[in-house]
Amino acid sequence: DCPASVRKQLGRLFAQALTATVPTQPDVVPLIDACIAKNGVKHADYQCNNAMSLFAKIKGKQEEFKNPRSLGEGIMKNLPQSEMIESCSVAGPGFVNVVLSKKWIAQSVQKLLTDGIDSWAPRLPIKRVMVDFSSPNIAKEMHVGHLRSTIIGDTLARMLEFCQPECLIRRNHIGDWGTQFGMLIAYLFEKYPNPDAVNESDIGDLQAFYKASKLKFDSDPDFKLTAQQSVVKLQGGDPKYLKAWKQICDISRTEFNKVYQRLGIRLEEMPESFFNPLIPPTLEKLEKLGLIEDSDGARVIFVEGVDIPLIAVKRDGGYNYFSTDLASLWYRLNVEKLDWNIYVTDVGQWQHFDMLFKAFRRAGWLPKDENEYPICTHIGFGLVCGDDGKRFRSRSSETVRLVDLLDEAKRRCKVALLERDNAKDWSEEEIEKTSEAIGYGAVKYADLKINRTTNYTFNFDQMLNDKGNTAVYLLYAHARICSIIRKSGKDIEELKKTGTVVLDHEDERTLGLHLLQFTEVFVESCSNLLPNVLCEYLYNLSEIFTKKFYSSCQVVGSPEETSRLLLCEATLVVMRHCFYLLGIEPVYKL
């Protein structure tokens, strides 16, 4: 439910009109859309599109309606009185156009100022949601692919959180298990015969450590044997090996946490190793249901519409990525009792999740037909590419380290800030904080503003441009509005209590209406799990503010100053909330 959505509110009015007009079709769902401007002109704010399809259903049954247009007129006549609506008309084949009352828009904006943005939050029909995101692998550095998962996953979690589910879990399914650990541990013991003496800085560069051990593994048969024996020891729970494993994991964790801290990401870790003990009982249950077959010594599950089977147990008896996900999904459904599990990874893993969910459906552990609200959803995103259109790599053709990338974004922002005329008015701390907010914000926004399913080109110059559709531009717009209010010398809290929002100028009205449309855009963005829809809204908001409202309506010193300052404040409230949802830190002075 979503009382703040203009579309929903109009929908309720039209539902009454539709039933009154066509009593034989009581369950018609109102089709309401915001009108789109043609050549810069909009004839109305919203339209109801039911007449055309409804006419086809009642043709010949209700004599008074000769065509869709006359049905549209009938619907319009039956529309209940409402303070929302200024006027209605029927257009074209039977669209019912609605112009909203500007007084009502103004009152709604005023209400936002008194009640806050939470009063605009929709409610989710779902109780317990989990977003599985970021989920990097130990010993392999976090790379740009994980950056996308981290940024997109965090935003989705923030969006869902705004809908106030009973429980929201931000899950980091860290890859902390697997055969690579045999190699790493064997190498660690070889380099540091006394593991107690090892400290973090010795193997601080885990990627280099990983590479060196891999090199030895591939070239030295004796070492390879020791590595394989180490896996067995580790899996058998030998304390010495477990300790070394933990040591290696902790070093990785420290690195991951640095990135999370910089980006303001909250995550709860439940790593792959947590699910190890749950794998055998999960497989046993599947076995009892007759789902598991033998294939060349491996234990496999066949699922609908896929030629290759899902490998639950490898030929050597070992477990894999699938085994862990079978156990973890079982846990999520039965122990954590989650009713929406969202997995955020690159699209390349779609088949993994497709097969996983299908296996669960085959077992009867997930409903056969997933409806509008699926219990499991895989959110795939495209590759991160460089300017050459190929997978993003640094010059040495290695994957790019995330910390380097964030450092670079910050560095460039700092340079730009220091070049500004007012640079000397800034304290060192302000420069640091602001260049972080802009730099990290720019990296996030560049990723979020495109449809996540497409590939994404990483380009510093583009994302840090202060004129295009970038976080830099948006943060500037926000800071500029803050400075308008500051310059007025007025106390906004006081104005909120005593002032009134009036929308007499066309551009004031346009801004007010766009503010009010936040909720329905948010609902669209959230229900399709597409943050780019929200980015587009935010960008349009800044454009409407800057190019329409602020260029035609003087604020400070005008007779309408109070109302216009309130409109500025309302714009800030909505902008800041968008920034919050996108994980971007606002900047108050620029």
Distance, in Å, from the CA atom of 355 to the CA atom of 349, rounded to the nearest integer, reads 10
Span near ligand ARG by CB under 6 A; candidates 130-138, 195-203, 227-235, 255-263: 130-138
Judged by beta carbon, residue 73 or residue 272, the one nearer ligand ARG is 272
Rule CB under 6 A: say whether 132 interacts with ligand ARG: yes
For residue 197, give the nearest of 154, 245, 257, 244 by alpha carbon: 244
Give the nearest distance from C-beta 133 to ligand ARG in angstroms.
8
Provide CB contacts within 8 A for 373, sequence distance 6+.
125, 126, 339, 340
Give the nearest distance from C-beta 350 to ligand ARG in angstroms.
12
Q: Which two tokens stand for residue 52?
A: 């055309």
Locus of tokens 């494993």? 245
Give the burial string for 430-456 (b: 16+ CB within 10 Å, else e).
eeeebbbbbbbbbbbbbbbbbebeeeb
Rule CB under 6 A: say whether 343 interacts with ligand ARG: yes
Span near ligand ARG by CB under 6 A; candidates 99-107, 132-140, 285-293, 582-590: 132-140
Say if CB 142 and CB 402 are below 8 A apart.
Answer: yes
For residue 138, give the nearest of 241, 232, 207, 217 by alpha carbon: 207
H or E stretch including 295? strand 292-295
Out of 45, 73, 255, 325, which residue is the one contacting ligand ARG (CB under 6 A)? 325
The dihedral through the CA atoms of 154, 156, 161, 167 has a sign that is: negative
Distance, in Å, from the CA atom of 533 to the CA atom of 560, rounded to the nearest integer, reads 33
Out of 110, 135, 150, 542, which residue is the one contacting ligand ARG (CB under 6 A)? 135
Say if CB 141 and CB 207 are below 8 A apart.
Answer: yes
Contacts with ligand ARG, 187-226, as mask; x by CB under 6 A: ----------------------------------------
For residue 586, give the nearest of 551, 526, 553, 538 by alpha carbon: 538
Span near ligand ARG by CB under 6 A; candidates 49-57, 134-142, 306-314, 570-578: 134-142
Distance, in Å, from the CA atom of 521 to the CA atom of 537, rounded to the nearest integer, reads 7
For residue 352, give the nearest of 393, 312, 391 by alpha carbon: 312
Give the nearest distance from C-beta 252 to ligand ARG in angstroms.
12
Distance, in Å, from the CA atom of 330 to the CA atom of 275, rounded to the nearest integer, reads 10
Give the nearest distance from C-beta 375 to ligand ARG in angstroms.
15
Out of 97, 345, 519, 562, which residue is the one contacting ligand ARG (CB under 6 A)? 345
Judged by beta carbon, residue 132 or residue 447, the one nearer ligand ARG is 132
Give the nearest distance from C-beta 586 to ligand ARG in angstroms.
31
Distance, in Å, from the CA atom of 511 to the CA atom of 573, rounded to the nearest integer, reads 13
Rule CB under 6 A: say whether 323 interacts with ligand ARG: no
Give the nearest distance from C-beta 321 to ligand ARG in angstroms.
7
Judged by beta carbon, residue 224 or residue 253, the one nearer ligand ARG is 253
Judged by beta carbon, residue 282 or residue 519, the one nearer ligand ARG is 282
Give the nearest distance from C-beta 477 to ligand ARG in angstroms.
36
Give the nearest distance from C-beta 291 to ligand ARG in angstroms.
20
Judged by beta carbon, residue 199 or residue 351, the one nearer ligand ARG is 351
DSSP per-residue codes, 335-379: TS--SEEEEEEEGGGHHHHHHHHHHHHHTTSS-SS--SS-SEEEE
Judged by beta carbon, residue 62 or residue 137, the one nearer ligand ARG is 137
Contacts with ligand ARG, 145-174, as mask; x by CB under 6 A: ----------------------------x-
Span near ligand ARG by CB under 6 A; candidates 51-59, 133-141, 381-389, 392-400: 133-141
Within positions 173 to 192, which residues make up the interface with ligand ARG, using CB under 6 A?
Answer: 173, 175
Q: Which two tokens stand for residue 178?
A: 């697997």
Distance, in Å, from the CA atom of 4 to the CA atom of 519, rounded to the nearest integer, reads 6
Give the nearest distance from C-beta 127 to ligand ARG in angstroms.
21
Q: H/E/C letters for each residue in 34-59?
A: ECCCECCECCCCEEECHHHHHHHHHC
Q: Count of CB atoms within 10 A of residue 121's CB?
A: 18
Rule CB under 6 A: say whether 70 interacts with ligand ARG: no
Judged by beta carbon, residue 71 or residue 329, the one nearer ligand ARG is 329
Give the nearest distance from C-beta 326 to ligand ARG in angstroms.
10
* Nearest residue relative to ligand ARG (C-beta): 135
Judged by beta carbon, residue 187 or residue 256, the one nearer ligand ARG is 256
Distance, in Å, from the CA atom of 349 to the CA atom of 351, rounded to the nearest integer, reads 6
Distance, in Å, from the CA atom of 70 to the CA atom of 77, rounded to the nearest integer, reads 11
Give the nearest distance from C-beta 173 to ligand ARG in angstroms.
4
Task: Count interface residues toward ligand ARG (CB under 6 A).
Answer: 10
Rule CB under 6 A: say whether 332 interacts with ligand ARG: no
Distance, C-alpha 467 to centroid of its chain: 24
Largest CA distance in the chain: 94
Give the nearest distance from C-beta 143 to ligand ARG in angstroms.
9
Say if CB 571 and CB 488 are below 8 A apart.
Answer: no
Out of 70, 137, 179, 462, which residue is the one contacting ligand ARG (CB under 6 A)? 137
Which residues of this protein are in contact with ligand ARG, per CB under 6 A? 132, 135-137, 173, 175, 325, 328, 343, 345
